[in-house]
């Protein structure tokens, strides 16, 4: 009965998925909803599998430092692997979960230098934490509540000086004496001086305008003058004046007026105190966050001092009583029946039903003879499906419970850093990206052959006879060439189908004219493909390409880059031009040129981007082309552009008409009415 009782402060398992591991949470509150269900407000704790790889590396370095400082005994590779499953990361994130999802209790403790890590493996449901994870900032920080136990936290006490030995230490770095208990004054004289100091403080507040507004009555001013700051000032005055009452009295009331001493309780305004109470309700005693989000204009020392003064006020006592009354109205504990309970008949969706019995959700299709992915056993009372469905991995009953509680497998796998044998040369880095993403991080070498199988089914699009007929009969509506140039434009398929159904009876009487397509022999096609295939460069590795930023037209040692040429160097008709109107260089092949070896650029040795500057000849070529020729060249940029010599003739410059008015004049313009 006690095992099913859960109270505030317990660390428990929560189940949010039938296939994923349990969530480890700490119960903060137990609330009853309007429909009678119980919800638990919990603090989130994260596992290593919940954080990124970079943060895992940071946690590994922190674990190594802890082992070196605490001088931990050596552990095996399997124990080190299982210790990662026992490590959690505390957070300040809260969430509400139904209490019916609780699956048991566990123990979570703060890792101490005196602890031995191997002891956590000897206990069931035992975890530890040493770092705090921020889910928003994605950071890992050391817990501020660390217990400082060890030799490095102990004070070093120097040896006692012998009689007559001088102290050679720097006295300015030592503590300053503020009170001498062996002073010549009696206790009565000291109390009388403190009363005088309070009276001076009350008179000083009466003279101060800001204090008169905050403490309008005499009682409030006297109460403020009786605080510790006034007593500390009075005792410090006695120490500085050698416990001479006459000198101390004159120091309390100097020539300019009485000395006014105020602490943080008087310096803070009412609005700042309200902000502090709101921040304290949200963050607790995390003064760094309080200062950062609510009171950035206050120093950290001022906030801490105000907190301890605020605890002595009636406001703190009232809030404490309200919280106590609110806590009494909430649930202290709740009872959750064990899982699965006798009345629970819903089967586990990951449970594999043996062949011959009633098949379950994942029971059908599993092969015989598969071993457990964790312990590699072949016999178990119950098997559970684990990992991606296409891999058909499974776990035995004990390994399934370990997976649910600790979020991992008992033995390390090759993908988790285990030593790889010589018979398995392949690693995850040699797989393609979709295959590597589909892998589970706990895959064993026994199922390595299944990893290379396709995890997605191939598909093809096959047109129907009606669609093929509609392409020919409704060519005027479909405009296939125009649709091919604009693949993003939608096609009204319903209108084409309707028109095809109308034209189909008439077209049956007059068959379509099919133009036979003359295809080249296979040998010719293969020869053309070999000629156009790019060849690998034979340049030695590591060669640097000379780059001259000031000479854009300079040949950079690569034949594949176009070089500017003057038009005069290309004489005769039929000069090949590229689609953009620029002449083809020797490094670019045209259809009439023989096949030549082309160099493939190395991304590391690639030169600067080439800038093409238009010349008079290229601009004249653009003006000579018609609009239809320009569009045809833009649609087929791979074909050379042949221009007739008559089009390339340089047109004589057209003289500009003389301006009707002078460009500038120095005489004033007179307007006559």
Sign for the pseudo-dihedral over CA of 74, 80, 85, 87: positive
Domain boundary, last residue among 239, 261, 283: 261
What pLDDT score was predicted for residue 368?
A: 55
- Which of 71-85, 176-190, 543-557, 589-603 shows the lowest per-residue confidence on average (mean pLDDT)? 543-557
- 400 with 491, same domain: the answer is no
- 194 with 221, same domain: the answer is yes
d(CA 594, CA 592): 7
What pLDDT score was predicted for residue 512?
A: 60
- Domain for residue 68, yes or no? yes
pLDDT tens profile 327-352: 776 776 777 765 554 444 567 788 88
Better-scored residue on pLDDT, 643 or 405? 405
What pLDDT score was predicted for residue 2?
A: 61
- Which of 153-167, 356-370, 503-517, 640-654 shows the lowest per-residue confidence on average (mean pLDDT)? 356-370
DSSP 591-602: TTSPP---PPPP
Q: Single out the residue of 22, 28, 56 nearest to residue 40, CA to CA.
A: 28
- 224 with 308, same domain: the answer is no
How far, CA to CA in Å, does 52 sit from each of 97, 112, 531?
25, 25, 49
- 244 with 129, same domain: the answer is no
3-state secondary structure labels for all residues of 77-126? HHHHHHHHHHEEEEEEEEEEEEHHHEEEEEEEEECCCCCCCHHHHHCCCE
Arithmetic mean of pLDDT, 240-258 = 86
What pLDDT score was predicted for residue 47?
A: 94
pLDDT tens profile 160-169: 888 888 888 8
d(CA 30, CA 99): 8
Tell me if residue 272 falls in helix, strand or coil: helix
Sign for the pseudo-dihedral over CA of 523, 529, 534, 536: negative
Q: Is the peptide bond before 347 cis (omega within 30 degrees of 0)?
A: no
- Domain for residue 103, yes or no? yes
Domain boundary, last residue among 410, 441, 474: 410
What pLDDT score was predicted for residue 415?
A: 45
In the chain, the percentage of residues whose pLDDT exceeds 90 is: 14
Tell me if residue 130 falls in helix, strand or coil: strand
Chain centroid to CA 437: 18
Containing structural domain, residue 204:
185-261
What pLDDT score was predicted for residue 27?
A: 92
Q: Which pLDDT band, with edges at 50, 70 and 90, does 525 fall under?
A: confident
The helix or strand, by DSSP H or E, that contains position 133, with its residue range, turns out to be: strand 126-134
Tell me if residue 670 falls in helix, strand or coil: coil
Tell me if residue 11 falls in helix, strand or coil: strand
DSSP assignment letter at 450: G
Arithmetic mean of pLDDT, 33-61 = 90
- 228 with 310, same domain: the answer is no
Q: Single out the residue of 604, 643, 610 nearest to residue 625, CA to CA.
A: 643
- 91 with 114, same domain: the answer is yes
Helix axes 493-507, 465-473, angle to 10 degrees: 80
- 11 with 130, same domain: the answer is yes
Tell me if residue 576 falls in helix, strand or coil: strand
Please report, for the domain that includes residue 389, its CATH number.
3.30.50.10
Arithmetic mean of pLDDT, 384-399 = 86
- Domain for residue 630, yes or no? no
Tell me if residue 40 falls in helix, strand or coil: strand
pLDDT score of 326 more than 90 = no
Arithmetic mean of pLDDT, 29-57 = 90
Among left, alpha and beta (phi > 0; psi -120 to 50; other), residue 587 is: alpha
Contact 193, 248 (CB under 8 A): yes
**Total tally of structural domains belonging to the chain:** 5
pLDDT averaged over every residue in the chain? 74
What pLDDT score was predicted for residue 69?
A: 84
d(CA 38, CA 31): 6
How far, CA to CA in Å, does 456 sit from each of 350, 439, 459?
22, 13, 9
- Domain for residue 45, yes or no? yes
Domain boundary, last residue among 225, 245, 261: 261
Tokens of 256: 């300019």
For the chain, the farthest-separated pair of C-alpha atoms sits apart, in whole angstroms, at 134
| The model scores a pTM over 0.85 | no
- Domain for residue 52, yes or no? yes
Q: Single out the residue of 313, 320, 312, 272 nearest to residue 296, CA to CA.
A: 272
Contact 197, 233 (CB under 8 A): yes
Q: Which pLDDT band, with edges at 50, 70 and 90, does 159 fall under?
A: confident
- 34 with 124, same domain: the answer is yes
Pairing of strands 87-98, 333-335: unpaired
- Domain for residue 136, yes or no? yes
- Domain for residue 290, yes or no? yes
What pLDDT score was predicted for residue 88?
A: 94
Please report, for the domain that includes residue 322, its CATH number.
1.10.10.60
Contact 149, 113 (CB under 8 A): yes
pLDDT score of 390 more than 80 = no
Arithmetic mean of pLDDT, 168-188 = 85
- 276 with 316, same domain: the answer is yes
- 254 with 274, same domain: the answer is no
Contact 264, 306 (CB under 8 A): yes
Please report, for the domain that includes residue 257, its CATH number.
4.10.1240.50
pLDDT tens profile 15-32: 988 889 999 999 988 888
- 77 with 49, same domain: the answer is yes
- Domain for residue 514, yes or no? no
Better-scored residue on pLDDT, 637 or 383? 383
Token pair 């930023």: residue: 549
- 13 with 85, same domain: the answer is yes
pLDDT tens profile 85-141: 999 999 989 999 998 899 899 999 988 888 888 889 999 999 999 999 999 888 888
Arithmetic mean of pLDDT, 435-448 = 43
Phi, psi angles (nearest 5°) of residue 215: -120, 80
């Amino acid at each position: 009965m006690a095992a099913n009782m859960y109270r505030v402060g317990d660390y428990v398992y929560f189940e949010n998925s039938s296939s994923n591991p349990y969530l480890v949470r700490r119960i903060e509150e137990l609330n009853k909803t309007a429909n009678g269900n119980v919800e638990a407000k919990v603090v989130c704790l994260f596992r290593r599998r919940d954080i990124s790889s970079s943060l895992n590396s940071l946690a590994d370095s922190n674990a190594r430092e802890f082992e070196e400082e605490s001088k931990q005994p050596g552990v095996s590779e399997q124990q080190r692997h299982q210790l990662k499953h026992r490590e959690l990361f505390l957070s300040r994130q809260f969430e509400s979960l139904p209490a019916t999802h609780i699956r048991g209790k566990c123990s979570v403790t703060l890792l101490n230098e005196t602890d031995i890590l191997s002891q956590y493996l000897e206990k069931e449901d035992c975890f530890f934490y040493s770092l705090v994870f921020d889910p928003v900032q994605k950071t890992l920080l050391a817990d501020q509540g660390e217990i400082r136990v060890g030799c490095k936290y102990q004070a070093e006490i120097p040896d006692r000086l012998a009689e007559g030995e001088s102290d050679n230490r720097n006295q300015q770095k030592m503590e300053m004496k503020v009170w001498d208990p062996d002073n010549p004054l009696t206790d009565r004289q000291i109390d009388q001086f403190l009363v005088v100091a309070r009276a001076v403080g009350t008179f000083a507040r009466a003279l101060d305008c800001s204090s008169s507004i905050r403490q309008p009555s005499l009682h409030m001013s006297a109460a403020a003058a009786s605080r510790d700051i006034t007593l500390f000032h009075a005792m410090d005055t006695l120490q500085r004046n050698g416990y001479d009452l006459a000198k101390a009295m004159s120091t309390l009331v100097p020539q300019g007026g009485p000395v006014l001493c105020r602490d943080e309780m008087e310096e803070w305004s009412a609005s700042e105190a309200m902000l502090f109470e709101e921040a304290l309700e949200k963050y607790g005693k995390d003064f760094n966050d309080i200062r950062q989000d609510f009171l950035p204009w206050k120093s950290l020392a001022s906030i801490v001092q105000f907190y301890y003064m605020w605890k002595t006020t009636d406001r703190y006592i009232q809030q404490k009583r309200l919280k106590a009354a609110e806590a009494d109205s909430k649930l202290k504990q709740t009872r959750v029946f064990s899982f699965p309970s006798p009345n629970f008949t819903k089967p586990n969706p990951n449970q594999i039903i043996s062949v011959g019995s009633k098949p379950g959700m994942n029971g059908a299709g599993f092969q015989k003879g598969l071993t457990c992915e964790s312990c590699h056993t072949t016999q178990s009372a119950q098997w559970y499906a684990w990992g991606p469905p296409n891999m058909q991995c499974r776990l035995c009953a004990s390994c399934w419970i370990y997976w649910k509680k600790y979020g991992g497998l008992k033995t390390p796998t090759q993908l988790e850093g285990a030593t790889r044998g010589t018979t398995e040369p392949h690693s995850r880095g040699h797989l393609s990206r979709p295959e590597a993403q589909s892998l589970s991080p706990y895959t064993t070498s026994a199922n390595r052959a299944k990893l290379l199988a396709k995890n997605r089914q191939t598909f093809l699009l096959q047109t129907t006879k009606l669609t093929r007929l509609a392409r020919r009969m409704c060519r005027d509506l479909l405009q296939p060439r125009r649709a091919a140039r604009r693949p993003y434009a939608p096609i009204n398929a319903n209108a084409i189908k309707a028109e095809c159904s109308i034209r189909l009876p008439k077209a049956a009487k007059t068959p379509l004219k099919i133009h036979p397509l003359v295809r080249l022999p296979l040998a010719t096609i293969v020869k053309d493909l070999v000629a156009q295939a790019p060849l690998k460069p034979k340049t030695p590795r590591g060669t640097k390409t000379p780059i001259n930023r000031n000479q854009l037209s300079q040949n950079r040692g690569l034949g594949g880059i176009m070089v500017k040429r003057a038009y005069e160097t290309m004489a005769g008709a039929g000069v090949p031009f590229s689609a953009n109107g620029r002449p083809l260089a020797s490094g670019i092949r045209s259809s009439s040129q023989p096949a030549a070896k082309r160099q493939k650029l190395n991304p590391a040795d690639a030169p600067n981007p080439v800038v093409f500057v238009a010349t008079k000849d290229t601009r004249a070529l653009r003006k000579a082309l018609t609009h239809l020729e320009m569009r045809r060249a833009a649609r087929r940029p791979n074909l050379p552009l042949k221009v007739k010599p008559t089009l390339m003739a340089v047109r004589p410059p057209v003289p500009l008409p003389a301006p009707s008015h002078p460009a500038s004049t120095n005489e004033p313009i007179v307007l006559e009415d």
